[in-house]
Amino acid sequence: MKPTLVQRLYDGPIDIVGDVHGEIEPLRSLMMHLGYSQDGVHCDGRRLVFVGDLTDRGPDSPAVVNLVKTMIDSGRAQCVLGNHDLNLLLDHRKHDNGWFYGEPFFADDAVVPQALADESVRETVLGLFRDLPVALQRDDLCIVHACWNDEMIDDAKHAHDAVALYHRHHELIEASFPGLDLDGVAKGLKHQNENPIKKLTSGPEERIDKPIESSGKLRFEKRVQWWKDYQGKFCVFGHYSIPYGEPRGSESAFCVDYGVGKRWQERRSGTTAGFRLKLGALRWPERKIVFDDGTSELV
Ligand SMILES: [Mn+2]
């Protein structure tokens, strides 16, 4: 029987890596600065834990998947499922996951350089994502891609297949609509906030009065900063793409996603070094963040 969607996090010292989004070179640099060999061995026996969103946007999603899969298969790394990873499992095409379908990523009428998948890459990617848990925990620490929520973690604890759990709740939520007199935004928010797989991998949202433009679409909802009210076990999460220098959590929660997924925008505007958007890893229990450029600081 498959293990459940909430699994035991490694004991001992770990390094928790933010959303990689296909950025293979920053990942290799980060591993080197953390003291890992290129296949993920650390001389002190430390291990890597990824917060999900391994693919999309960056130049080489297949290479990131191959590397992380090799480390997971040999017991040297763990990874939780992110919303981008989930989209591929659900076959939800988005503006930035065309690489998976063999199609170039256009932004502002120019191609963003990316390795494109073929059939065998697609098989490897789905094979990895199908087996990922949505959350990891141990006595002092828990890890999820976007949002920790006890009630939804409980649902995930009793499930073995993220796609099946997603569809089950999707249908339950749809079945609750007749007679409720909800508009499209309210329905969308129910799908976002009441489906455990959605909420754990992409976080809670709320309605806003003035729509904002995001990825070329008008949106009537925005993300909720759930960590401001969170008081549980220390939680490390990704997803929110918070640049260096900005507030990134609370007493009990820390966002390790420093936004490297949008580094293609910096490259396009001519930056070749000293990037503002970084890939970081939180060393635990040291509580030290190490970046792909080799800099580090206590948090
Ligand atoms: Mn994400």
CA distance 192 to 203: 8
What amino acid occupies position 70? T
Q: 169: CA distance to ligand 1 center in Å?
A: 20
Residues in the chain: 299
Would you state the pLDDT for residue 59? Answer: 97
**Is the per-residue pLDDT at 1 higher than 80?**
no
17-43 residue pLDDT tens: 999 999 999 999 999 999 999 999 999
Cα torsion 54, 77, 71, 99 to 10°: value is: -10
Would you state the pLDDT for residue 100? Answer: 98
**Is the per-residue pLDDT at 108 higher than 90?**
no
**Is the per-residue pLDDT at 234 higher than 80?**
yes
In contact, 102 and 120? CB cutoff 8 Å: no
Q: 17: CA distance to ligand 1 center in Å?
A: 13
Return all residues near 34 (Cβ < 8 A) that are at least 6 apart. 15, 42, 46, 48, 281, 283, 290
Query: Which DSSP string corresponds to 169-193?
Result: HHHHHHHT-TTS---HHHHHHHHHH
Q: 240: CA distance to ligand 1 center in Å?
A: 7
CA distance 27 to 25: 5
242-291 residue pLDDT tens: 999 999 999 999 999 999 999 999 999 999 999 999 999 999 999 999 99
Please provide the average confidence, as pLDDT, over all residues in the chain. 96
Give the containing element (helix H, strand E) for 86.
helix 83-89
Would you state the pLDDT for residue 221? Answer: 95
264 DSSP β-pair partners: none
What confidence category does residue 109 fall into, taking pLDDT thresholds of 50, 70 and 90?
confident
Q: 54: CA distance to ligand 1 center in Å?
A: 9
Q: 44: CA distance to ligand 1 center in Å?
A: 30
In contact, 156 and 134? CB cutoff 8 Å: yes
Would you state the pLDDT for residue 298? Answer: 96
Q: 120: CA distance to ligand 1 center in Å?
A: 25
Please compute the mean of the pLDDT values over residues 169-198 and round it to a whole number.
97
In contact, 18 and 281? CB cutoff 8 Å: yes
Q: Cα 16 to chain center, whole Å?
A: 12
Would you state the pLDDT for residue 152? Answer: 98
**Nearest C-alpha neighbor of 20 from the set 185, 260, 292:** 260
Return all residues near 40 (Cβ < 8 A) that are at least 6 apart. 31, 48, 67, 70, 71, 74, 76, 77
**Nearest C-alpha neighbor of 116 from the set 106, 96, 105, 102:** 102
Would you state the pLDDT for residue 247? Answer: 96
CATH superfamily of 13-159+231-298: Metallo-dependent phosphatases (3.60.21.10)
Q: 239: CA distance to ligand 1 center in Å?
A: 4
Q: 69: CA distance to ligand 1 center in Å?
A: 19
Q: 200: CA distance to ligand 1 center in Å?
A: 10
Find tokens 């006890």 and name the residue.
Answer: 150
Would you state the pLDDT for residue 195? Answer: 98
Residue 292 buriedness (CB in 10 A; 0-12 / 13-18 / 19+)? buried
Please compute the mean of the pLDDT values over residues 59-67 and round it to a whole number.
98
Q: 182: CA distance to ligand 1 center in Å?
A: 27
CA distance 293 to 281: 12
Would you state the pLDDT for residue 294? Answer: 98
In contact, 232 and 148? CB cutoff 8 Å: yes
Please compute the mean of the pLDDT values over residues 215-234 and round it to a whole number.
93
CA distance 265 to 260: 10
Q: 251: CA distance to ligand 1 center in Å?
A: 22
In contact, 250 and 269? CB cutoff 8 Å: no
Q: Where are the domains of the chain?
A: 13-159+231-298
Q: 294: CA distance to ligand 1 center in Å?
A: 24
84-106 residue pLDDT tens: 999 999 999 998 999 999 999 99
Pull the structure tokens for residue 54: 């391994």
In contact, 155 and 165? CB cutoff 8 Å: yes
Would you state the pLDDT for residue 185? Answer: 95
